[in-house]
Amino acid sequence: MANGMNPGNANLPIGAGTVANGVESVDGSTRWHSRGYLPHFESPLTMQHVTFHLADSLPQDLLRSLRAELEALPERTRDTERRRKLDEWIDAGYGACILRRAGVAALVESAFLYFDGRRYRLIA
């Protein structure tokens, strides 16, 4: 990075402009910032997405068995196989599936919509 900062570092100073995708922002509209936990990238020219998973969507016993399976595979194929299995298991609906409860789903939806149009534009 041109200024020595790592955008993947959660300890970035708040509002610190950095290099994004190897290109400095000309007008300061593209920047990385952090509030001490997850770094955020802001740019009016970039569409972003966030994926949420519930804590129990991947049972620990499945994750332990996956680690053992991956050890037996050639290193070059481990990441692809890991992603394939995790996607398959997430889609299978393990866990309590608490978002199937209307009240809980409505609470989460209202949280997503709370800043829509003010801090971000929610598309889907």
Q: Render pLDDT for 52-96 as a digit per residue (tens, 0 to 9).
A: 778 788 888 888 999 999 999 999 999 999 999 988 888 888 888
pLDDT at 6 over 70: no
Closest to 82 measured CA to CA, from 98, 95, 63, 101: 63
Please tell me whether residues 14 and 60 are part of one structural domain: no
Burial of residue 40 (number of CB atoms within 10 Å: 0-12, 13-18, 19+): middle
pLDDT at 107 over 70: yes
* Full-model pTM: 0.49
Tally of domains in the chain: 2
Please tell me whether residues 23 and 55 are part of one structural domain: no
pLDDT at 5 over 70: no
Boundaries of domain holding 40: 1-47
Please tell me whether residues 73 and 104 are part of one structural domain: yes
pLDDT at 98 over 80: yes
pLDDT band at 10 (very low <50, low <70, confident <90, very high): very low
Please tell me whether residues 13 and 23 are part of one structural domain: yes
